[in-house]
Structure 1
Amino acid sequence: MSAPLSDASLDQLFLTARTYNAWLPREVTDEQLHRLYELAKFGPTAANSSPMRIMFIKSADAKARLKPYLAESNAEKSMQAPVTAIVATDFAFYDQLPKLFPHADARSWFVGKEDMIQSSGMRNGSLQGAYLIMAARALGLDCGPMSGFDQAGVDAEFFAGTTVKSNFLVNIGYGDASQHLFDRLPRLSFEEAAQIA
């Protein structure tokens, strides 16, 4: 675990990886989605709480159900993408803590503490969503994360009657670099964004 990744690996994960808006007509298989989750689930979360839940929208029927809730700028590219992942958070995640964190009564840390449930669920679910993107890139897939959608509508359509709420969307597939790929935007320098104390 002490050896740095190769420059090619860093390019694939970070440096030349891009957010794609157009997709090649190439399938992402169910087996790939299983492998993707099996990698992403190992990213760290507080007390191993693992609150992320994912709905992989792949079938024509599921895409038709999702489309009305997408912002106009996101609809076409999401319909073209082989898969759109609804990255969501289960706000009853603490019910799984006896299984996931068995060496302490971690469930009691959350029960009846709504502010803590909300903040921890959002923080750790968002972390897991980022792990999902990096795992997809590691497997040779491209991603197009998005936040332009009707969350209440998506929740009613896909998670009704549950404690699961959508967080953001990620189109997944093989990006088409010949279409709608914008020049890389600038990032803040170390001096602008970081300090060493």
Structure 2
Amino acid sequence: MMTGVMNMVADPELPASWRKTFMTLWLGCFMTGLNFSMTMPFMALYIETLHPYGKFELNLYAGLAFAVTYLAQAIVSPLWGNLADQKGRKLMCLRASGVMTFTIFAVGLVHHAWTIVLLRFVQGAFSGYINNATAFMAGETPHNRSGAVMANMMTANVTGNLLGPLVGGAISWFCRLSGNVFCLWGDDGDRLFVDLI
């Protein structure tokens, strides 16, 4: 995976500005995948600290917190795609990064499990970073490199999703549960900062 990315970045035939854009969006896709799956190891434990829920309620809230994110994403993705065609993909990447940063920060401040479910729904409803970053790169990439670039962009997301639970578990081992959420927020804030550059 990293070999393909490094080959793209080191290719002298590609302009330096293109390589910077590629690395920025690749890193953003990786961190998005990481953040979507990072909370898996400790979401149920975090919800349990909010209220002494029974096993059924705890499982229900933890399951809903994950499911609503992807459900909302599936429902609104076509709307964000149409808006990206009109307003530009860079703006949509910034929107998705900003809202994800806000929602992850807000999850660390909540006192009720239903608020986590609501914030995760908002996170999914305003997502779309990976789709827009990939489409942006597709438009900027020389035709003879498009296959490799698209494969690398998808690999970034998949790698982030696969490593997310491992990183989340490590964070929950090092931090308190609410501290986990703020560590994730810092990770998202980094991505937003990179996108703004």
Higher relative contact order (CA 8 A, sep 6+): 2
Bigger fraction of residues in strand: 1
Q: Which has the higher helix share?
A: 2
Q: Where on the TM-score scale, by shorter chain, does this alignment land: which range?
A: under 0.3
After TM superposition, the score normalised by the length of structure 1 is 0.25
